[in-house]
Structure 1
């Protein structure tokens, strides 16, 4: 089984980069046993992990992120990026954890593939 790390820096609704990252994540996870997927959200991407978001037009990227975690994805948000945006752990989707740069470094070294969006 491959380990695939996706780092995402893009704002959730400012472009389609985050949507593309989540679509790829869901496609990878739809193939049982093919890959362990880890997502590390940085910069404005951390706001994707806010619980109970209401969006004006679909898709709801928070719901897609929850679906990915239900299928086995591990999701962490950058601590300093979350702090800079006033995002506390209790406001995150269930299952999302606060991560750190040393942890991202470990994930990067352990990954078979690293993709950045």
Structure 2
């Protein structure tokens, strides 16, 4: 089953990104053959910034997104949202990449489920 997660909120401050990725990890655990795609837009693009340092015992979005990538999922970032926040391709963690609304549209049509956080 193909599941697309669309995340909009900043990675820290609310727990929407955190909870979305917890669910993504759980789906990957329950069904190792599941296809998981995470599309970050608006302030959520910052979740894929490389080199994040968080206090001990606090969740880290970069590490959580890496689990999606290592589980054969994809992490895509809205390119215009990146530009609006001064993020360049070099600022993005390994395994994630700049994307477009056209690609989001295609991923939405291909998905069996679309979850928006």
TM range (shorter): over 0.9
1:37 — aligned with what?
Answer: 36
How far does the alpha carbon of each residue in 1:49-106 deviate from its partner, in whole angstroms, 9 at most, with x for none?
0001112351111111111111111000000000000101111110101000011000
Q: Which runs of 5+ in 1 are unaligned?
A: none
1:56 — aligned with what?
Answer: 55
CA distance in 2, matches of 1:32, 1:107: 20
Matches within 5 A, 1:1-117: 2-30=1-29, 31-33=31-33, 35-56=34-55, 58-117=58-117
| Contact 1:29 1:72 (C-alpha < 8 Å) held by counterparts | no
Q: Which runs of 4+ in 1 moved over 2 A?
A: none
Q: State the Cα distance separating 1:44 from its structure 2 match.
A: 0.4
Q: Which runs of 5+ in 2 are unaligned?
A: none
TM-score (norm 2): 0.95
Query: How many equivalent residue pairs?
Result: 115
RMSD (Å) for aligned C-alpha atoms: 0.9
